[in-house]
Amino acid sequence: MTAHTTSVTITQTTSLTMTVREAETTPAVKDLPPKPVTLEATAAKKDSTSKKLPGHISIPAQPYAFTFHPAKTALVIIDMQRDFLLKGGFGDLQSASQLAAVQKIIPSTLSVLQACRKAGVAVIHTREGHEPSLLDCPLPKLTRQKASPTSTRHTLVIGQEGAMGRLLVRGEYGHDIVDELQPIPGELVVDKPGKGAFYNTTFQEKLIGMGITHLLVCGVTVECCVTTTAREGNPSERKTLILGNDRGFEVCTLSDCVDGYVPSFKPASLEMLHFSDGLFGWVADSKSLVEELSTFAASKPTTQPCIDALDTASLTYALDIESLTYAYRVKAITPTSLVEILYARIEKYSEIDPAVFIRLFSKHEILARASELEAKYANKPRPPLYGIPITVKDSIDIAGVPTTAACPAYAYIPEKNATTVTQLLALGVIILGKVNLDQLATGLVGVRSPYGAPSSVFNKAYISGGSSSGSAVSVGAKLCSFSLATDTAGSGRVPPSFNNIVGYKPTRGCLSTVGVVPACKSIDCIAIQALTVSDARKVWDLLNVPDPEEWVGKLWRGQFKPAHMIYSFKPQFRFFIPPEEDLGLLTPGYKTLYLQAIEMVKAIGGKLVEADYSPFTTAGKLLYEGSFVAERVAGVGKEWLLEHADELLPSTREIYLGATKFTAVDVFNDMDLLAKCALRARHEFTKFDVLLVPATPVHPTHAEIEADPIGLNHKIGKFTHYGNLLDLCGITVPAGFDNGMPFGVTFLGASMSDGLILEVARMFQEKTRIKSGLP
């Protein structure tokens, strides 16, 4: 690795910092806090609850008022299963038939549940229990109580046949939730093998996916699963973004909606939670909660907030998921009527740019899908992406439709959908067609395609960016709500910047790449290009399900990092920027916009800190200048390449044939170097939470790319190339215009810190108020 000393890096960072500071006319480098920065305590202080925060609800609680935002809060109903509440169940044995107290909380829990449903607060139910094989039940849990020499109650153990089926076994009648509190479609049910809801479940992942920061807890038993979950859920430490195991949620337990099997345990358990000014969180009565939620539900605006208003007389709603879902619900549109409008828009746009779609499905086919959805969900609960129109990059398989990867010599007709396509169809989307890309997803320019070179939606002279070119244009031109794209070198982040939309590349391995043409297989990932950060987040959350068929290299999944420092009422996070040496590549217009973005990030709670950028720079060079490019050859097959090299476009051919020169020794040397970079980058990420970079330093015209197709491609990838190699997650968000052309910034986070970058990006998008896509 190039030996960048710390002092060099500090100097580089400092020089830019000076520029920034000068712009805001405050002195000076000396003011930069020494690393590591100590942030203020994030826990809500007494004074923060005394004033009413806009959009928030405050309820009286111990040790002081509990304040939460309904959209960021989940009601968690713990284990209200027949097995714990009804005669003949597991709780009947545990408690020696002392079930009156736990049964008494059913009505109060139900009224909270109904109030949350009306107010739009997310609802999550948990169920304790085991697989029929009991292989997920540790032996002590099975036998410890029965083994007690004085045991008279534990006549049966988990898995044995009770009055309501096998005790605590999934699928049995007793394992399910009592009739009164049964989940409705759309509510999450977390099946847990342990007492705490976090252990060996997707609970934490789902909460982070949904952007939940606050929990309201009901359920049984207060001495066992309720307190185990409430105690573990709370944030106990701040510096745990990378290591550590705290969960990072603000938890309020509802005293009249929890109970257990021994009367004296309840006050003790609850006091322990709020002891010492809120050791683990809050305890509140449900009465004022229900009242406040009802007031909130009644005052909710009748139209949904939306950032992007679609400028057509025929469609008054925006194309983002939230707005369209609302429009469907109030019957302002139907999937069929939306398709009619969008098809006309697509046909009109094809006159402006004929290179967006490689295959546009016929209007007949798309209308058939719309009618199918209408019939299937008539008078039934709708899936979360019901009637949402999307496009799919043509390197992602749709069964029976050719996958070309913009390379006719490579094209094939897949028998199966890519996993993500199957998931999206089950969620209710309408696929409009397959969109253009740089050949074999190699390139960041978007012009390397025999199906034409798409242009930025803002100016035909400028490139769309790639490789997910058609994806970004289809979203930017408001032809669809979002596009399924991919990102290896930055393909999911660059075109969004050139088209004024959001591009999100989750941590590798979150979304399945089964059925995606490999570019650089070990680092490929699915990207979502959308109009809003919330939409990108929603799609990620919905698709983030482990795929057993996923390539072995991506099977590893870590634990999602909590993001509580930005979830408090006064968000705080640390961010880092590249050194001046790299930022010097920005055009003057982009530089101005980037400096403005830095100020904006400070305004939403970011603190600029110092760190070492050299591991990022070194890793970035490896992607095309090192032997990793040989993985692209492996992806298509060396024999195939040599046979079909003449049929590739000149730039693709040059890159692929150039990659055949590397030896196995080169690959191992580079793997070693990359591992060192990744380790060092991970260390740097302990000093900051977010790396804020310009999505690209320049936006070339078609003519400029023709003159220097490969050199300019490298330049465009200056701030994206290392993202997947170092296992980062990243999201590009619109950040302004230079002479009518858009600019985007990218928030990069360490592996599994998706929740954090999404929240920062959301705050940034909210703050800039830039409307996505074409005006």
Dist. CA 390–CA 385, nearest whole Å: 10
Shortest Cβ distance from residue 248 to ligand TIU (Å)?
Answer: 23
Of 216-224, 324-332, 393-401, 576-584, the window that binds ligand TIU (rule: CB under 6 A) is 216-224
Report d(CA 183, CA 176) in Å as an integer: 10
The footprint of ligand TIU on this chain (CB under 6 A) covers a number of residues equal to 10
Strand segments (E) across 18-82? 57-59, 66-68, 73-78
Q: Does 224 bind ligand TIU (CB under 6 A)?
A: yes
**Which ranges constitute the DSSP H helices of 54-146?**
82-85, 90-95, 100-119, 139-143
Closer Cβ to ligand TIU, 68 or 261, answer by number: 261
Out of 112, 177, 220, 655, the only residue in the binding site for ligand TIU (CB under 6 A) is 220
Site map (CB under 6 A) of ligand TIU, residues 260-279, x = contact: -x------------------
Residue 343 beta carbon to ligand TIU: minimum distance, rounded to whole angstroms: 52
Q: Which is nearer to ligand TIU, 84 or 576 (CB)?
A: 84
Give me the 677-716 binding string for ligand TIU, x by CB under 6 A, dash otherwise.
----------------------------------------
Residue with tokens 């550590």: 244
When asked if residue 84 is in the footprint of ligand TIU (CB under 6 A), the reply is yes
Binding segment toward ligand TIU, per CB under 6 A, in 117-125, 218-226, 287-295, 717-725: 218-226
The distance of closest approach from Cβ of residue 169 to ligand TIU in the complex, given in angstroms and rounded to an integer, is 14
Residue that has been written with the tokens 């139900």 in this structure: 110
Residue with smaller CB distance to ligand TIU, 260 or 470: 260
Cβ at position 339, least distance to ligand TIU in Å: 47
- Name the packing angle between helices 533-543 and 419-426 (round to 10°): 110
| Residue 569 CB-half CA count within 13 A | 20
Closest approach of Cβ 63 to ligand TIU, in Å?
Answer: 25
Stretch binding ligand TIU (CB under 6 A), from 219-227, 338-346, 563-571, 721-729? 219-227
Q: Closer to ligand TIU by CB, 115 or 220: give it.
A: 220
**CB-wise, 273 or 690, nearer to ligand TIU?**
273
User: How far is it between the farthest Cα atoms of the chain?
Assistant: 86
- Rounded to a whole number of angstroms, the minimum distance from the CB of residue 224 to ligand TIU is 3
Among 10, 16, 68, 79, binds ligand TIU (CB under 6 A): 79
Q: Which lies closer to ligand TIU via its Cβ, residue 258 or residue 396?
A: 258
Residues linked to residue 592 through DSSP beta bridges, in sequence order: none
From residue 682, alpha-carbon distances to 181, 286, 610, 670, 676 in Å are 44, 43, 15, 18, 10
CA atoms 187, 193, 198, 202: torsion sign: negative
DSSP assignment string, 193-215: SSSSSSTTSSHHHHHHHHT--EE
- Nearer CB in complex with ligand TIU: 84/328: 84
Tell me the two tokens of residue 60: 């009286």
- Restricted to residues 95-154, the positions that interact with ligand TIU (CB under 6 A) are 128
Is 455:353 a contact under the CB 8 Å cutoff? yes
| CB-neighbour burial class of residue 694 (10 A; exposed 0-12, middle 13-18, buried 19+) | buried
Helix or strand (DSSP H, E) at 576: strand 573-576
The residues, ordered by sequence, that sit 6+ positions from 96 with a Cβ below 8 Å of its Cβ are 153
Smallest distance, Å, CB 249 to ligand TIU?
Answer: 19
- Active site members: 393, 467, 491
The CA distance from 141 to 568, in Å, is: 37
As to burial, measured by CB atoms within 10 angstroms (0-12 exposed, 13-18 middle, 19+ buried), residue 675 is exposed
Stretch that binds ligand TIU, among 114-122, 172-180, 217-225, 270-278 (CB under 6 A): 217-225
- The nearer residue to ligand TIU, 264 or 379, going by C-beta atoms, is 264
Which of 12, 14, 221, 439: binder of ligand TIU (CB under 6 A)?
A: 221
Closer to ligand TIU by CB, 191 or 670: give it.
191
76 binds ligand TIU (CB under 6 A): no
- Kindly tell me which of 127 and 505 has the beta carbon lying closer to ligand TIU: 127
CB of 93 to ligand TIU, least distance (A): 9
- Report if residue 328 touches ligand TIU, rule: CB under 6 A: no
Least Å from the CB of residue 502 to ligand TIU = 40
Pairing of strands 525-530, 482-487: antiparallel
Q: How far is the CB of 276 from ligand TIU (least distance, A)?
A: 24
- Over the window 573 to 602, marking each residue x when it contacts ligand TIU by CB under 6 A and - when it does not, the resulting string is ------------------------------
Rounded least distance, CB 198 to ligand TIU, Å: 14
| Strands 573-576 vs 690-694: parallel, antiparallel or unpaired | parallel
- Find tokens 């969960």 and name the residue: 247
Give the number of other Cβ atoms within 10 Å of residue 77's Cβ.
28
Minimum CB–partner distance for residue 94 and ligand TIU (Å) = 4
Interface mask (CB under 6 A) for ligand TIU, residues 36-75, using x and -?
----------------------------------------
259 interacts with ligand TIU by CB under 6 A: no
Tokens of 122: 């997310």
Using CB under 6 A as the binding rule, whether residue 225 contacts ligand TIU is answered as yes
Q: Which region holds residue 278: left if phi is over 0, alpha if psi is between -120 and 50, else beta?
A: left
What is the spatial distance between Cα 402 and Cα 288, in angstroms, rounded to a whole number? 58
Contact region for ligand TIU (CB under 6 A) — 154-162, 221-229, 274-282, 418-426?
Answer: 221-229
- In a 3-state reduction of DSSP, which class is residue 659? helix
Residue placing its CB nearer to ligand TIU in the complex, 126 or 724: 126
- The helix or strand, by DSSP H or E, that contains position 250, with its residue range, turns out to be strand 250-259
Query: Which amino acid makes up residue 113?
Result: L
323-332 contacts at long range (C-beta below 8 A, 24 or more positions apart): 324/387, 324/388, 324/481, 325/384, 325/386, 325/388, 328/382, 328/386, 328/387
Pick from 398, 431, 425: nearest CA to 412: 398
Relative to beta strand 161-162, strand 66-68 is: unpaired
Q: Which stretch binds ligand TIU (CB under 6 A): 31-39, 220-228, 554-562, 651-659?
A: 220-228
Q: How far is the CB of 109 from ligand TIU (least distance, A)?
A: 13
- What's the length of the chain? 775
Query: Residue 94, interface with ligand TIU (CB under 6 A)?
Result: yes
**Could you tell me the two tokens for 728?**
């980062």
**Residue number, 79 or 394, with CB nearest to ligand TIU:** 79
Looking at beta carbons only, is 225 or 725 nearer to ligand TIU? 225
203 binds ligand TIU (CB under 6 A): no
Q: Is the peptide bond before 703 cis (omega within 30 degrees of 0)?
A: no
Binding site for ligand TIU (CB under 6 A): 79, 84, 94, 128, 195, 220-221, 224-225, 261
